Homo-oligomer: A and B are copies of this chain.
Amino acid sequence: MPAPSDGPLVSDLSEDGLLARIFPLLPLGDDTELAPGDDAAVVSARDGRFVVTTDVLVEDRHFRRAWSSGEDVGRRAAVQNLADVAAMGARPTSLVVALVIPGDLPASWVEGLARGLAAECEPLGVGVVGGDLSGGPVVVVAVTAHGDLGGRAPVLRSGARPGDVVAHAGVAGWSAAGLALLHAGRTELDRELVGAHLRPVAPLGAGPAAAAAGATAMLDVSDGMLRDAGRLARASGVGVELDSAAFTGDLERLRAVAGVLGVVAERWVLDGGEDHGLLATFPAGSVLPEPFRAVGRVVAAGEGTVRVDGVPAPARSGWDHFAG
């Protein structure tokens, strides 16, 4: 989905002129006490604390303009940051965006980016409360997101205890499958999976719900199920046992495309990054909040390791955003 080539380029506009096109598209947010326009914004933090995380997307590393529209990139930049906030058990309140753009980028691409940010933020009452803009050789979108814990303790990676249920909310492997379709030039095979890569849907509401339901540990599955389960296992000093049967739905969903591309679907499910689901642990017998489903259990043995159906998972690295 290349950006439309009509309309002015970024280099045809002044910084103020470009900002004047973007600002009206951005949501104010329910917790914004002072909107952008001064040296800084002011966001309420009734909890007396705030959660903060930052993630950056770089053109030709994390996305290609030939594949992703500005709106796609805006949505993804928002979702991956909001998912990190949700993974602490917090309700997202606000984000700020530092944007680097080449002069030959259509201004409409930047407007699309703003619309993509707004599309993810506005329904949640999240405000886009600040930004900075610079020229540069490639598009870089650095988002910082904030959230409110609502009086609860943050849900860390380190709280899993032997006997806990391991639960997952969201899809597994869909983003990797969509990316494989894009690389293969076969997007017509399954546009839903392509969309799952370009515009991942994270179960953001499940984060605070998990915290309220007593989740003992939680993280955003951004780098692959095995890699992120391994992080939880190491941080908590426990073993994580996953049941591949729990991912039958994802495996069946991906099997046809995997067959055409000559890939084992299980690899996408276990190693694929950027789905932005939530992996959490709950005390045994907990009623899991929707849409969490049990995918395994926490054990004392095999501290810091992950087993799938009792077999040690290979020491896989999943995604290394910095490599390549």
> CB within 8 Å of B: which residues of A?
14-15, 18, 33-34, 38-58, 61-62, 84-85, 87-88, 90, 94, 96-100, 129-138, 140, 142, 144-147, 149, 154, 156-158, 218-220, 235, 320-324
Tell whether, in the assembled complex, residue B15 and residue A320 are in contact, meaning their CB atoms are under 8 Å apart. Answer: yes
Given A39-B219, A44-B49, A53-B96, A138 and B135 contact (CB-CB distance below 8 Å): no
Task: Identify which of B54, B129, B158 contacts A96 (C-beta below 8 A).
Answer: B54
- Once the chains bind, are B15 and A100 in contact (CB under 8 Å)? no
On whether A62 and B321 interact (CB within 8 A), knowing A49-B33, A146-B52, the answer reads: no
CB-based contact A56/B324 at 8 Å: no
Is there contact, CB below 8 Å, between B54 and A50? no
Question: Are B132 and A55 in contact, CB atoms less than 8 angstroms apart?
Answer: yes
A-B contact pairs, 29 of them (CB 8 A): A14-B322, A38-B157, A38-B219, A38-B235, A39-B84, A39-B85, A39-B87, A40-B52, A40-B85, A40-B87, A40-B145, A41-B53, A42-B50, A42-B51, A42-B149, A44-B49, A45-B49, A46-B48, A50-B50, A52-B130, A54-B130, A54-B144, A55-B132, A56-B98, A56-B133, A98-B142, A98-B144, A135-B321, A140-B140
Give A156's nearest chain B residue, CB to CB. Answer: B38
Q: Are B56 and A100 in contact (CB under 8 A)?
A: yes
A58 touches B100 (CB 8 A): yes
A140 partner, pick from B50, B136, B154, beta carbons under 8 A: B136
Determine the distance from Cα of A129 to Cα of B55 in the docked complex, in whole angstroms. Answer: 13
| 10 tightest A-B CB contacts, nearest first | A15-B322, A142-B142, A40-B53, A98-B142, A45-B45, A144-B144, A56-B98, A39-B87, A54-B96, A39-B84
